[in-house]
Each structure stands twice: as C-alpha cells, then as structure tokens.
Amino acid sequence: MLDPNSDAAAPPLLSRRRVLAGGGRGLLALALVGTAAACGPGGPPTPDPLEAQLDAARRDAELAAAAATAAAPWMVPALNVIADERARHAAALVEELARAAGKPTPTAPTETTAATSAPAAGPAPAPTVQDVATALRKSAGSAADLVPTLSGYRAGLMGSIAAACTASYTVGLTPPRTQPGRPR
C-alpha cells in the first residue's frame, strides 16, 4: 500500500506535456512580439529607388521635346521619338510605383508647372542635342546601376530602360551619313 504522505503518489513537477505546452506558449509569445515590433514605427520609410528614375524619365522627356524645337530638321523626328519613349518609361514607372505601394495607378500624370519657380530674366535657350545625349547617358548609367539591387520585374524594367536610353544616345542621336559606306 502506498503511503499518502509519500512523494510517489504526486505527479511529477515537470512532465513532457507541461514542457511542450510551455514551449508552445513561449513560441507564440515570441511570434507576437516579433510581429508587433515589425509593424511598429521603425523610423521614416526610405524612398523607393524608382522615384529617382521616374524624375529622370520625366526630365529627359521634357528635355528632348524642348531640344526638338530648336534642332536641325533631320534631328527633330529622333528627338520626338526619344521624348515619347521617355514619357512611356515614366508611365511604366508610375504603374510600378503604384503597384508596389498597393495603390491604384493614377489616370493622369502629375505635371509640374514652371509657375512655382522663380521668374526668369528671359527665355532660356533651348537645350541642344548634346544636352539630351548627356542626360540620356546619365539616366542609362543610373538605371543600369540600380539593376543588381532589384529583382524580378523591377530589375527587368530598369534593364530595359537602361538599354533604351543607351540606344537612344548612341544610335538615335547620331547624324546621318552623307555617303553610304564612308565613315563619318
């Protein structure tokens, strides 16, 4: 017969069931704390790297369109194509930024007006073809530098933009040959 005062009749203080239940509660508490920490304010959000690319695409489109107004007649079609292409790049970037932010794509592009800037002393001279080529070279370089930091669609988009800008300034902005087969 067992003695009621002995320890043999009492359940063990640390059973397998208690360890598993306690461990499960601990893991659940850890998960909840981790989720709360991740959702809490952790400083200001960093700007999306595509924002700078959007600004560059808009500037390049405006620059090419302005240069077309004062360019040689044979260069005007190329500058207009470049302006249209960079405007399409801007539209694609707006769509991607909206998608990444979980917002609907804006229906009309936001325009910046020159009315908010300081009044100019006179009309500024139209940009040159070289100005457009320099801007495209810079845009191509910054887009290409961004590609390895991105993945998936975004990396492909930046690669496409870099290639298009490079083709525009190396092929689209070259003067026509006067005689076939002769170097310029």
Looking up residue 63, the CATH number of its domain turns out to be 1.20.1260
What's the structural domain count of the chain? 1
Residues 85-114: b if buried by 16+ CB within 10 A, e if exposed: bbbebbebbbebbeeeeeeeeeeeeeeeee
Q: What is the pLDDT of residues 82-141, one digit of tens each?
A: 999 999 999 999 999 999 888 887 776 554 434 444 455 667 888 999 999 999 999 999
Range of the domain at 87: 50-107+126-172
Q: Is residue 23 part of a domain?
A: no
What pLDDT score does 181 carry? 57
Quote the tokens at residue 1. 């017969």
Q: Is residue 33 part of a domain?
A: no
Q: What is the pLDDT of residues 26-36, one digit of tens each?
A: 666 666 666 55
Q: Is residue 39 part of a domain?
A: no
Average pLDDT, the chain: 80
Which CB contacts under 8 angstroms, 24+ apart, belong to 95-103?
96/50, 96/153, 96/154, 96/157, 97/48, 97/50, 97/51, 97/54, 100/48, 100/50, 101/48
Q: Is residue 40 part of a domain?
A: no
Q: Is residue 27 part of a domain?
A: no
